[in-house]
Structure 1
Amino acid sequence: MRAALFLALALLAAPAAAQETAAAARAAAERLAAASEQLDAAQGARDRVSALTETVRAYEAGLTALRDGLRRAAIRERAIAVELEARRDEIAELLGALQSMSRAPAPLLLLHPAGPLGTARAGLIASEVTPALQAEAERLRADLQEAADLAALQQSAISTLEEGLSGAQSARSALSEAISERTDLPMRFTENPVATALLIASTDTLDGFASGLAQTIDAELSSTVPDATGLKGQIPLPVQGQVLRGFGEADAAGVTRPGLVIATAPRSLVTTPVAATLRFRGELLDYGNVAILEPAAGVLVILAGLAEVYGRTGEILPAGAALGLMGGDPPAPHEILTETAQGGGAPRSETLYLEVREGDAPVDPETWFAPA
């Protein structure tokens, strides 16, 4: 009995885990439901492009938050399982001792070989240990209940994920259609497609193409030129993601580029980080689909690696306007659950290349863009 009591006192007591993970996942599900309502409202909005752009962003934020909540839930569930497994022998020994005690006749429990004094001392020890035993039992019960709740939460999330992924795809499709029908943006100039084609054919570097870009203008339609110089160093990145390589950093093959490489999730929305003229859009060299923005006179922001690029060359795009989509295929709901069960975050399998040029030379993009 004394060994069992000392074992009970030695068991580590951890505070009951908060339900933050479950609350975060439920809050994300509510954000996805709100995004669904936003998508319905956007169909009849006066500015459908703007409304749908915000809807796509809402879906992306909701899905990211849901995945983060599920990841945290999986990590917490696994931590509880590991803790219980590590303490299995101690708990089993304690339960065995308590079970043996429960089978002893009650009168014998009141007697002690040392006589009345020993019996009194044993009673005092038992009275001190009983609250600890009760607290330990309550903690174990709470841990087991929390683990069960977290497992149920992850299983019930599959329908929410399916609806969210489907809604995001519908919003992207509606956005692409709305942009193709848009005619309300001001045009700064008209493009000379023949000059553009000749420039593409005659250059084999991004430097050469950027230097000759001024030759592709057919006619100036407006003297209005966006000027973002006052926002230098504060401009947000055009896509949600993580910077893999900075200005001039070498990749695994030892190749360096004068720009940022940003890892993004599949089908992420790319937006104009600041009001700018769309100087070029289309495939270029080995960069894939490229969009070139001019946020200030003599300054070019080059975005490469998109799967789709929106807009017409010469348009003045407002800040936050949808510019295109990254490539790749979003994972299926069961793949997301598998990733989160393993403790992984949202995969960023696509990369966007961002370069800033002032005059004829590239500069560190971080002089213009705020770090993510």
Structure 2
Amino acid sequence: MMRSLILTLVLGIGLVAIGWSAIAQNSVLPGQTVAETQKALRAAEAQAKAALERAEGLQKRADSATKRADKVRGDIQAMAARVQESEARIAAANARISILDTLQLAQKRRLAAKQEPMIKLTAALQQFSRRPTALALVKPGSLEETVRVRALIASIRPQVEDMSQELREDIERSRTLRRQAEKAAKTLRASRQKLEDRRQKLARMETAARLESRELIGGAQLEEDRAIALGEDARDLDDLIDRITVSSTVREELAALDGPRLRPDRPELSNVVGKGNATPRRAGRPAYMLPVVGTVTTGFGEVSESGVTARGITIRAGDAAQIIAPARSRVAYAGDYRGFGEIIILEHDGGWTTLITGLAQINAKVGDEVSQGAPIGRAPAGEGGDIMIELRRNGQPVDVATLIAAQ
């Protein structure tokens, strides 16, 4: 029986050593998944910081505005930026929770791997401790085996104590991870509530602004009817953008012409003002920003599985994410279009246009002049959706990233 106890102890010690060795070899987490999530976390935190800075700058500008219209416009833009800040913070909180969930799962596996051999060793030691010392006097040779077992136990005691201490530290790490997860969940709940409050406030501000500009509805309706007619005549989305570009050029050239004049006494001596006298469109790069917070899923020029080359970028947006104007622009088209859902086309100076598709809601009308950062719509509710942004100059697709990087 004593020999079996010695064998049990040796096996228990071996299991502990093997278990600890296996844990040391497998303690590295599946780094790729965690690394990707950490990258998403850093990106979301950067987006939140940028949105906060933009909101603070817009609010200062609105507070210093002397005209009521400028102040109202600035307040709305600042609130839209704060909405995007909340959306980015929610994305960061979700990424943080995902990382903590992964760490907690790995920690549980480590604890299970360490506890199992320790439990077996403890059981062997308990079995030996229950063996009466008097049996050593009854069975010949048992005293020598007892001495050997005690020497064996004495030699492994420091190792067992170190392992026990490491196990206690692992348990404390598990508690720390649990507390961090609870804190992250609390932060997520607070961010969601703040987002909802900001969205409601922004909606009230937009409604009030629209009510103040009711006298402009008549002219806007004519613009919208014209845009709808263009959409019906266009063969496809590309043709629609081309038609809008031509229409925009003509409109700017007409706007640059002098107003009506009285007929001169000698018409043959008068100068005819024609197309060549129109003020040229500014050709500079517009200040540009991404219109929605999210993760880029398709880059400019990427080729899909079906062989289609992307002429814009696609961003996976969050639940009902706020869409803002990427640059100072004029709304040329807004509404549902032939299977693309709700789309909006924005005209910028210098022959630049932006097409945004995948919206669930549009808060701007054709003919509206919108400043950079002004709220123009929302992404789909629920799991969000893919928002496609296509930037063009004189009808030719341009990589959005180059315009942003150049600033």
- Secondary structure at the residue paired with 2:144? coil
The 5-angstrom pairing of residues 91-170 of structure 1 reads: 91-103=118-130, 113=144, 122=151, 126=154, 129-148=156-175, 150-151=177-178, 154=181, 161-170=188-197
Residues 7 and 361 of structure 1, relative CA distance in 2, 3 Å threshold = closer
Residues 115 and 322 of structure 1, relative CA distance in 2, 3 Å threshold = closer
- What residue number does 1:310 align with? 363
Q: What percent of counterpart residues are identical?
A: 22
Q: Larger % of helix: which?
A: 2
Contact 1:278/1:313, CA 8 A, preserved across alignment: yes
- What residue number does 2:324 align with? 271
Residues 247 and 139 of structure 1, relative CA distance in 2, 3 Å threshold = same
- Secondary structure at the residue paired with 1:261? strand
2:88 counterpart (45, 61, 66)? 61
- What is the distance in 1 between the residues matched to 2:346 and 2:376? 10
* C-alpha deviation, 1:164, in angstroms: 3.4
- Secondary structure at the residue paired with 1:368? helix
* C-alpha deviation, 1:302, in angstroms: 0.8
The 5-angstrom pairing of residues 167-246 of structure 1 reads: 167-182=194-209, 192-213=223-244, 214-215=246-247, 217=251, 220=255, 229=285, 235-246=288-299
Q: Output the aligned Cα RMSD.
A: 4.5
- What residue number does 1:352 align with? 387
Contact 2:96/2:184, CA 8 A, preserved across alignment: no
Which structure's relative contact order is higher, taking Cα pairs within 8 Å and 6+ residues apart? 1
Query: Normalising by the residue count of structure 1, what TM-score does the alignment of the two structures yield?
Result: 0.68
- What is the distance in 2 between the residues matched to 1:242 and 1:171? 22
* C-alpha deviation, 1:324, in angstroms: 1.9
Contact 2:227/2:366, CA 8 A, preserved across alignment: no
* C-alpha deviation, 1:193, in angstroms: 3.2
Which runs of 5 or more structure 1 residues have no equivalent in the other structure? Answer: 330-346
Residues 194 and 58 of structure 1, relative CA distance in 2, 3 Å threshold = closer
Letter in 2 for 1:258: R
- What is the distance in 2 between the residues matched to 1:226 and 1:182? 30
Contact 1:289/1:305, CA 8 A, preserved across alignment: yes
2:372 counterpart (319, 325, 335)? 319
- What residue number does 1:343 align with? none
- What residue number does 1:368 align with? 403
Residues 283 and 226 of structure 1, relative CA distance in 2, 3 Å threshold = farther
Residues 119 and 142 of structure 1, relative CA distance in 2, 3 Å threshold = closer
- What is the distance in 1 between the residues matched to 2:126 and 2:325? 69
Letter in 2 for 1:306: L
Contact 2:352/2:394, CA 8 A, preserved across alignment: yes
- What residue number does 1:287 align with? 340
* C-alpha deviation, 1:292, in angstroms: 2.0
Contact 2:358/2:379, CA 8 A, preserved across alignment: yes
Which runs of 5 or more structure 2 residues have no equivalent in the other structure? Answer: 1-5, 29-36, 64-73, 137-141, 257-278
Residues 364 and 103 of structure 1, relative CA distance in 2, 3 Å threshold = same
Query: Normalising by the residue count of structure 2, what TM-score does the alignment of the two structures yield?
Result: 0.63
- Secondary structure at the residue paired with 2:209? coil
- What is the distance in 2 between the residues matched to 1:79 and 1:104? 39
